[in-house]
Chain A
Amino acid sequence: MHPAFSVVFFTTATGAGYGLLALLGVLAGQGFVPPDFWLGLVGMGLALGLISAGLLSSAGHLGRPERAWRAFSQWRSSWLSREGVASVATFVPTGLFAVGWLFLGRTNGWVAVAGLLAAVGAVATVCTTGMIYASLKPIAQWHSRFTLPGYLIFSAMSGSVLLNALLQGFALGSTIVLTGCVLLTLLGWGWKLANWRYNDRLEIPTNANTATGLAGGTVRSLEWPHTEENYLLKEMGFRIARKHKARLRQITQVLAFALPVLLLIAAFALPWPYAAVLSALATSAQFAGMLVERWLFFAEAKHTVTLYYGR
């Protein structure tokens, strides 16, 4: 599958944004994070900024973005429509939560309830994003039990690393949050490795024989119907060289998992502001690493239409 940058950025940014929003909604409402104005402004600004930038980026990949409002109508059958509804619905409790925190200076009572609802909405939205990919049968690498949990784990992981950097920046760092984001990053690493291992051993029943209805023997493409690449090949016939795949997997592991874990462990030992700097570096490295991971998620996915082209 062609890794369109708008979609790669969209899923990575909203994943981190919704992860941070869910954590802020729960932790601030429970009094774990103080209702400080500047902390709220930067934290909610980061979460909403990432979410909004991601959503705008995804709208930018549409052929007719001016009709995007129509996408809220088919929630009964379409995960993409459900994603649209969930993302917009989540803005309501998120807005109330932000108003309570920033302008009323409180995160208890009804503001805490709004925070919890925002967290529920954030998790639901990430689920719908994951299901868009997990529900596509023609792409075996996505239509697997790894996809939906993967989106949730990576959202929690990047959200928690972002939350840690935020708290460290305000000298509010805690070993519990640090421990949480190290464990979530290790979980994400393990999940990605297991997912790659699964994909590398994947054997799908669909092949050139079933695609053409020609039973038995071998079916080899002699001639394409066209001389140049068409929409199908540009959108779904994307290929990366094997050596690049291995190299990109290494880059993902270093940037998204190994480096953040090392930086976060170092942050345990060092005082403010060094711990804050390391936490910010961990966040940046992980975001870059997750962009590579999401690029690979598309580039390594093989659509059944490529069988018709002998690819």
Chain B
Amino acid sequence: MTCLPAHTDKKLGLVIDLDTCVGCQACVTACKEWNTGGHMAPLTDIDPYGGDADGVWLNRVHSYEHMTEMGGRTVNFPRSCLHCETPACVTVCPTGASYKRASDGIVLVDEDKCIGCKLCSWACPYGAREFDTDVGVMKKCTLCVDRIYNDNLAEEDRVPACVAACPTSARHFGDLGDPASAISQLVAERGGVDLMPELGYHPTNKYLPPRAHTPRAASVPAPRLEPLRVEGGFLGWVDRMLSH
């Protein structure tokens, strides 16, 4: 049923640190690599080497300039499914293909039931769902459901591919329904926020805002260049002649 579970035992999700994300796109390619062979496979690319490349990606990294009275900064912003607590993408689904799991809160698509009406992608304010024109069904982030419970993987690898790939540890995975979990404490400590809270989707994933500017930060510019001293002799004469 596309009715939502009244309660989920866990609220598995991601916490993304906008302070440390460097926008390297490693999570994007790791996601594509894993999921084009995983639960949502294939993630079709259309004309990948041509002038009109298009394709399905479950994770995209934007770059923004955030200007405040404290100055400006570049913020790299990974965007993927937030596994909302009240996801309208699930309730609008006419076939029951979209569902939210009562056990861990992960929002999934059963590709054998999807009719490709695209209404779920309209209902998602975050642009988390992408339609695969080749297969005719909707694709979305699975929170790497085929990794996190996978006994064939080493314990430390049982995290979403994007989290495993992140070189700056900007991505964290865990149970956001458990206030004692490391990830929940990280959110509490850093003041993690919901995206578009006013729409009432209650996203599970949280974003950690960049840390405030501090006047104690080290000054890193290179030493100033000395003004060129006017020399005598031939070079001095050349300098004077060219300066006229």
- Chain A residues near B182 (CB, 8 Å)? none
19 examples of A-B residue contacts, CB within 8 angstroms: A62-B136, A63-B118, A63-B131, A70-B96, A70-B115, A77-B90, A77-B92, A77-B93, A79-B92, A80-B92, A137-B125, A139-B122, A213-B193, A213-B209, A215-B209, A218-B67, A221-B62, A226-B60, A230-B57
A-B contact count (CB 8 A): 202
Query: Knowing A137-B199, A225-B61 touch, does A308 contact B79 (C-beta < 8 A)?
Result: yes
- Chain A residues near B200 (CB, 8 Å)? 137
The answer on a CB contact under 8 Å between A305 and B126 is yes
The answer on a CB contact under 8 Å between A214 and B75 is yes
The answer on a CB contact under 8 Å between B116 and A138 is no
The answer on a CB contact under 8 Å between A206 and B53 is no
- Neighbour of A235 across the interface among B65, B131, B199, CB < 8 A: B131
- Neighbour of B114 across the interface among A64, A217, A219, CB < 8 A: A64
Count residues of A near B (Cβ-Cβ below 8 Å). Answer: 59
- Chain B residues near A232 (CB, 8 Å)? 121, 127, 130
The answer on a CB contact under 8 Å between B64 and A219 is yes
The answer on a CB contact under 8 Å between B113 and A67 is yes
The answer on a CB contact under 8 Å between B60 and A67 is no
**Most chain B Cβ neighbours within 10 Å, of A63, A137, A139, A230:** A63
The answer on a CB contact under 8 Å between B118 and A235 is yes
Distance, CA A71 to CA B98, complexed state (A): 12
B3: CB under 8 A from chain A? Answer: yes
Chain B residues numbered 183-199 whose CB sits less than 8 Å from any CB in chain A? 193-199
B155: CB under 8 A from chain A? Answer: no
The answer on a CB contact under 8 Å between A229 and B195 is no
- Chain A residues near B75 (CB, 8 Å)? 212, 214, 219
Chain A residues numbered 197-254 whose CB sits less than 8 Å from any CB in chain B? 205-206, 208, 210-232, 235-236
The answer on a CB contact under 8 Å between B209 and A74 is no
The answer on a CB contact under 8 Å between B95 and A65 is no
The answer on a CB contact under 8 Å between B117 and A212 is no
The answer on a CB contact under 8 Å between B94 and A70 is yes
Distance, CA A301 to CA B11, complexed state (A): 33
The answer on a CB contact under 8 Å between A212 and B93 is no
Distance, CA A67 to CA B122, complexed state (A): 20
A117: CB under 8 A from chain B? Answer: no
Distance, CA A309 to CA B198, complexed state (A): 20
The answer on a CB contact under 8 Å between A308 and B3 is no
Chain B residues numbered 1-25 whose CB sits less than 8 Å from any CB in chain A? 1-4, 18, 25
**In the complex, per-residue mask of A53-67: 1 if CB is within 8 Å of any chain B CB, else 0:** 000000001111101
- Neighbour of B196 across the interface among A70, A77, A78, A210, CB < 8 A: A210
Distance, CA A215 to CA B195, complexed state (A): 11
Query: Knowing A74-B94, A137-B200, A211-B196 touch, does A65 contact B121 (C-beta < 8 A)?
Result: no
B229: CB under 8 A from chain A? Answer: no
The answer on a CB contact under 8 Å between A228 and B63 is no
- Neighbour of A217 across the interface among B3, B69, B113, CB < 8 A: B69
Distance, CA A108 to CA B200, complexed state (A): 51
The answer on a CB contact under 8 Å between A220 and B65 is yes
B40: CB under 8 A from chain A? Answer: no
- Chain B residues near A219 (CB, 8 Å)? 64-66, 75
Chain A residues numbered 256-311 whose CB sits less than 8 Å from any CB in chain B? 303-305, 308-309
**In the complex, per-residue mask of B107-136: 1 if CB is within 8 Å of any chain A CB, else 0:** 000000111111101111111001111011
Q: Whose C-beta in chain B lies nearest to the C-beta of A227?
A: B53
The answer on a CB contact under 8 Å between B94 and A217 is no
A99: CB under 8 A from chain B? Answer: no
Distance, CA A221 to CA B74, complexed state (A): 10
Q: Report the minimal beta-carbon distance from A139 to chain B, rounded to whole angstroms.
A: 7
The answer on a CB contact under 8 Å between A308 and B127 is yes
Distance, CA A230 to CA B130, complexed state (A): 9
Q: Report the minimal beta-carbon distance from A135 to chain B, rounded to whole angstroms.
A: 7
The answer on a CB contact under 8 Å between A84 and B94 is yes
Distance, CA A219 to CA B209, complexed state (A): 13
B173: CB under 8 A from chain A? Answer: no
The answer on a CB contact under 8 Å between B198 and A206 is yes
- Chain B residues near A127 (CB, 8 Å)? none
Given A137-B201, A214-B210, 20 more pairs with CB closer than 8 A: A62-B117, A63-B115, A63-B138, A64-B137, A67-B115, A70-B115, A71-B115, A73-B94, A77-B2, A78-B119, A80-B92, A84-B94, A206-B199, A211-B195, A212-B207, A216-B68, A220-B64, A221-B63, A231-B130, A308-B77
A92: CB under 8 A from chain B? Answer: no
- Neighbour of A137 across the interface among B53, B77, B88, CB < 8 A: B88
The answer on a CB contact under 8 Å between A304 and B114 is no
- Chain B residues near A215 (CB, 8 Å)? 193, 209
The answer on a CB contact under 8 Å between A303 and B122 is yes
A76: CB under 8 A from chain B? Answer: yes
B54: CB under 8 A from chain A? Answer: yes
The answer on a CB contact under 8 Å between B196 and A220 is no
